[in-house]
Structure 1
Amino acid sequence: MDPVVHFELPCDNRERISRFFSQVFGWTTQMLGPEMGNYVVVTTADKDGPMGHRGAINGGFFTKTADMPAQFPGIVVAVQDIRASMRKVTEAGGQVLGEPMDIPTVGAYVAFLDTEGNRSSMLQPLPKA
């Protein structure tokens, strides 16, 4: 099985998107310089985190450019309390897309838009048996 090991999100404003994900999910960011395309390295979990992070991934943000095709994000963020996280999304300037839906044997899921218009999702996993 090939695991997911990284994600990338396009943005127009790297400071704004970094602030959004830091406020909502507590992620940390490292702003790289022009020699690295102003890329932002994102850390989403540390080994000793409270939610057991086996298979957790980190990623990055890249600035959108007119000459780059298919600049799409693709992530799902695990949260402890989906309702609290939905409020944080709204408070940080994002938009929740609808109400959580229950995915049998998985948990509660809802999509949202961040401050850059990227569509991402949150998942509150069901407790382990």
Structure 2
Amino acid sequence: MNTIAYFEIQADEPEAAVRFYQAVFGWSFTRQENFPIPYWRIDTPGIRGGLLQRPAPTPAPEHGTNAFVCSIEVANFDDVAASIASQGGQVALDKFAVPGVCWQGYFIDPAGNTLGVFQADPEAG
């Protein structure tokens, strides 16, 4: 108990967000019928999630995020960063070392959501 077991991504244009996350991370999505809003279940290698039509306005970019940000562990930070850029994402905070732990960075997806990406590396620094 008390572990993260499910996550959700909100988007004004959920179909575009599905395409972005499929292209960058290879996640699979299943559209759920009979929900009160457009909703897709997400299957990732480590945790289940959902993607939904945004129910409230996105905060202005200069206000940062008002959400719980998740970071995705990847095999190659630089390759994923390039993929994010090619799919319309933006850098929010450039790659930096967490000494002895990993390389970390933050991005903004095309729907305006902040996400973290990290590559484990005990020699980071």
Aligned amino acid, residue 87 of structure 1? A
Aligned amino acid, residue 71 of structure 2? V
Alignment correspondent of 1:88: 83
Unaligned runs of 5+ in 2: 58-64
Residues 19 and 116 of structure 1, relative CA distance in 2, 3 Å threshold: same
Unaligned runs of 5+ in 1: 46-55
3-state DSSP of counterpart to 2:42: strand
Alignment correspondent of 1:19: 19
Alignment correspondent of 2:62: none
Distance in 1 between residues matched to 2:9 and 2:31, nearest whole Å = 14
1:63 to 53, 58, 69: 53
Output the TM-score relative to the length of structure 2. 0.82
Question: Offset of 1:2 from its aligned partner?
Answer: 2.2
Residues 108 and 19 of structure 1, relative CA distance in 2, 3 Å threshold: same
Residues paired across the two proteins, number = 114
What percentage of aligned pairs have identical amino acids? 26
Residues 1:123 and 2:113 are matched in the alignment: no
Output the TM-score relative to the length of structure 1. 0.80
